[in-house]
Amino acid sequence: QVQLQESGPGLVKPSETLSLTCTVSGGSISSYYWSWIRQPPGKGLEWIGYIYYSGSTNHNPSLKSRVTISADTSKNQFSLKLSSVTAADTAVYYCARGQTVTTDLDYWGQGTLVTVSS
Amino acid sequence: SSELTQDPAVSVALGQTVRITCQGDSLRSYYASWYQQKPGQAPVFVIYGKNNRPSGIPDRFSGSSSGNTASLTITGAQAEDEADYYCNSRDSSDNYVFGTGTKVTVL
């Protein structure tokens, strides 16, 4: 059974960089797409971006160039960096596994709340 | 447009049938997948493709698609089906897009 677990600071100061890591167990990240999704309190889901096991990435245009997604296959982890954060970036952040042909996200982490505040 | 629009809320009597819709131009080209989210929990993958259920999802959940609209139907809704439901698909730039979400209340 594939399991994903997000980790990282729960509090980030405005203008700083949010950094999260997703550790995958029960399967290798050397296949599939690996996504980050977030959900502001009381709001809907927003796709942030993905990394394919080959290293190619894609991200939500609304986040412009603030997003960096990388992977460490030796640790079976992938990571998110979101720069220049503001209070609007406060959300529960989820990592998830995506299928290779479709946008189906079949396994999700439990999510981690990141609050942007001074 | 890369948006996926859902009704904000629907209600269904216990044991009855409810249909949740998702509208968007991209659905003319791509199937939607559907996710159930209960309060304080991560989304759960419930429907994908033409009408496929992942292992462990009850057969009262089904999916369909026509034109620019994808639908999730719960036949014989149970109290435990009360949740938010989101559709998901892609746009022409290969970006993932989520629907606006529908809150289902079981009366």
pLDDT of B45-103, one tens digit each? 999 999 999 999 999 999 999 999 999 999 999 999 999 999 999 888 888 999 999 99
Q: How far is B106 from chain A (nearest CA, A)?
A: 20
Minimal Cβ distance to A105: which of B31, B45, B94 = B45
DSSP state of A63: G
CB A91 within 8 A of CB A40: yes
What sign results for the dihedral spanned by CA atoms A40, A45, A49, A53? positive
Q: How far is B13 from chain A (nearest CA, A)?
A: 25
The tens-digit pLDDT sequence of chain A (118 residues) is 999 999 999 999 999 999 999 999 999 998 899 999 999 999 999 999 999 988 899 999 999 799 999 999 999 999 999 999 999 999 999 999 998 888 899 999 999 999 999 9
Q: Do B35 and A110 touch (CB under 8 A)?
A: no
Residue B104 tokens, joined: 């289902």
Mutation target for B interface from A36, A45, A105: give the one with most B CBs within 10 A.
A45
Compute, in degrees rounded to 10, the torsion defined by CA atoms B12, B36, A67, A117.
Answer: 70
